[in-house]
């Protein structure tokens, strides 16, 4: 492993970690407000995890365990091609629109990453097809529950080295690899969501991905959103610039960027986004695997004010609130400008969401390259298999996204 001259690996890690922490911790000296995150909030997350473990496999569709992503070929809508890759064989599906994907990230010291390269295999962060025998994939739990402790530790190293010397995992998160998987899963268009991390330098994913998509001539298949950092004094100006150069969606991530969605300092940004007709894509809810110190930012009630005070601002709540989907679903039902990205929810939970919303304002998302596109697709197909749900299937897989973001229809 080569190292940057004059800097040890330990120093590099220190800069990376320090840079992220220093740049993204607002008012480090302020004691956190206890009303913002209560014992009841902590208990609620623990209860969700207990209930999920106790009830998995007991929903209307029964056990949902598969031998890795390729194991989804046992479902009627999928098969394996001669190369052994998972393919979707249902040609009755509409051109699917995925509103939640990402590309490889080369940040901070910008290790070499060729987003134009094809590699023999996509190494998803949940890489259940990377081992023999394949890792078990349970679609009836919140999807990150499929990571082992060991795999989570490995991912931490993968994410950290994206700012240092890079790694083979991220080098497979490229445009041709995404398009190949989209073709195999009948996904017509993907929205990729960059994130501004608040690093001291090398924090330009929006620009990198836009350039890479243009270079690949892939704008008919992939569109990039943009991101600003809540603590950046220029955030409103940056938003205007991105909108003027074509961005329709801005990604904000309360747990990674460490801010409360209803913080008073955020209001001018929402005001401007509403004026510009931009869509806000929030990471929604607690995933359960983020640092405990950042979980406080993502509990559903902190999203209520922006939904209420900016009724013309369309807001996507990513992951349908993740492990806080019960609270997030109530918010979405109460606000006409709330859209639920369904990525991550298990089959049993997705069934509840579909039943309560009738499919209205639900958006298909996969969180590629964390997971194979087929994982979320399989869950939607399982929950919409009945003849009465064919219209809802189409709505979730395509029509809702196109009504919110017409440019993704191409
Ligand atoms: Zn994501």
User: How many A from CA of 193 to the centre of ligand 1?
Assistant: 7
Q: What are the φ and ψ backbone dihedral angles of 181, each rounded to 5 degrees?
A: -70, -35
Closest residue by Cα to residue 52 from 398, 347, 404, 376: 347
Query: According to the model, what pLDDT value does residue 28 have?
Result: 45
Q: What is the pTM of this model?
A: 0.93
Tell me whether residue 111 is in a domain.
Answer: yes
Query: According to the model, what pLDDT value does residue 410 have?
Result: 75
Q: What DSSP character marks residue 188?
A: E
Tell me whether residue 356 is in a domain.
Answer: yes
Torsion angle of C-alpha atoms 349, 354, 356, 360, degrees rounded to 10 = 140
User: How many A from CA of 367 to the centre of ligand 1?
Assistant: 5
User: How many A from CA of 101 to the centre of ligand 1?
Assistant: 6
Query: In sequence order, what E strands does 28-179 have?
Result: 65-67, 78-80, 86-88, 96-101, 136-138
Domain containing residue 265: CATH number: 3.20.20.140
User: Average pLDDT of each block of 10 consecutive residues along the chain (410 residues)?
Assistant: 36 43 46 92 97 96 98 98 97 98 96 96 95 95 94 91 93 98 98 96 97 98 98 97 98 97 98 98 97 96 98 98 98 98 98 98 98 98 98 98 95
User: How many A from CA of 197 to the centre of ligand 1?
Assistant: 13
Tell me whether residue 171 is in a domain.
Answer: yes
User: How many A from CA of 194 to the centre of ligand 1?
Assistant: 9
Tell me whether residue 81 is in a domain.
Answer: yes
Q: According to DSSP H, which parts of 277-399 are helical?
A: 292-295, 304-309, 325-334, 347-357, 373-383, 390-394
Domain range enclosing 299: 38-409
User: How many A from CA of 365 to the centre of ligand 1?
Assistant: 9
User: How many A from CA of 344 to the centre of ligand 1?
Assistant: 10
User: How many A from CA of 320 to the centre of ligand 1?
Assistant: 12
Query: According to the model, what pLDDT value does residue 30 have?
Result: 64
Tell me whether residue 22 is in a domain.
Answer: no
Query: According to the model, what pLDDT value does residue 15 have?
Result: 43
Task: Give residues with Cβ within 8 angstroms of 197, minimum separation 6.
Answer: 20, 23, 24, 107, 203, 229, 256, 257
User: How many A from CA of 364 to the centre of ligand 1?
Assistant: 12
Q: What DSSP character marks residue 132?
A: S
Tell me whether residue 10 is in a domain.
Answer: no
Neighbours of 275 (CB within 10 A): 12
The tokens for 219 are 């704008």
Tell me whether residue 167 is in a domain.
Answer: yes
Count up the domains in the chain and report the number. Answer: 1
User: How many A from CA of 127 to the centre of ligand 1?
Assistant: 16
Is residue 258 a contact partner of residue 234, using CB atoms and an 8 Å limit?
no
Tell me whether residue 33 is in a domain.
Answer: no
Is residue 230 a contact partner of residue 259, using CB atoms and an 8 Å limit?
yes
């Amino acid at each position: 492993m080569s190292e940057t001259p004059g800097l040890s690996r330990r120093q590099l890690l220190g800069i990376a970690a320090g840079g992220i922490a220093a740049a993204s911790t607002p008012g480090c000296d302020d004691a956190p407000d206890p009303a913002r995150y209560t014992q009841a909030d902590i208990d609620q997350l623990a209860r969700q995890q207990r209930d999920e473990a106790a009830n998995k496999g007991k929903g209307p569709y029964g056990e949902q365990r598969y031998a890795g992503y390729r194991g989804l070929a046992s479902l009627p809508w999928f098969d394996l091609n001669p190369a052994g890759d998972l393919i979707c064989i249902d040609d009755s599906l509409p051109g699917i629109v995925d509103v939640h994907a990402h590309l490889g990230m080369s940040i901070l010291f910008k290790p070499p990453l060729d987003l134009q390269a094809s590699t023999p295999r996509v190494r998803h962060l949940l890489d259940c097809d990377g081992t023999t025998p394949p890792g078990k994939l349970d679609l009836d739990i919140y999807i990150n529950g499929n990571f082992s402790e060991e795999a989570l530790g490995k991912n931490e190293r993968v994410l950290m080295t994206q700012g240092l010397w890079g790694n083979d995992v991220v080098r497979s998160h490229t445009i041709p690899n995404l398009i190949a998987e989209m073709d195999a899963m009948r996904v017509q268009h993907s929205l990729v969501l960059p994130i501004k991390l608040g690093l001291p330098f090398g924090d330009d994913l929006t620009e990198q991905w836009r350039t890479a998509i243009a270079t690949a001539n892939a704008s008919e298949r992939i569109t990039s959103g943009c991101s600003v950092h809540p603590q950046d004094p220029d955030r409103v100006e940056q938003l205007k610039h991105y909108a003027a150069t074509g961005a329709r969606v801005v990604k904000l991530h309360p747990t990674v960027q460490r801010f409360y969605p209803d913080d008073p300092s955020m209001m001018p940004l929402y005001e401007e986004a509403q004026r510009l007709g931009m869509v806000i894509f929030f990471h929604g809810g607690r995933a359960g695997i983020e640092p405990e110190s950042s979980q406080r930012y993502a509990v559903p009630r902190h999203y209520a004010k922006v939904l209420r005070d900016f009724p013309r601002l369309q807001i996507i709540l990513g992951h349908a609130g993740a492990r806080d989907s019960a609270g997030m679903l109530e918010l979405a039902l109460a606000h006409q400008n709330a859209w639920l990205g369904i990525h991550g929810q298990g089959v049993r939970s997705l069934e509840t969401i579909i039943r309560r919303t009738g499919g209205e304002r639900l958006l298909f998302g996969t969180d590629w390259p964390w997971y194979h596109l087929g994982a979320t697709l399989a869950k939607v197909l399982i929950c919409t298999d009945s003849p009465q749900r064919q219209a809802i299937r189409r709505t979730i897989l395509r029509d809702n996204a196109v009504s919110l973001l017409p440019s993704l229809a191409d």
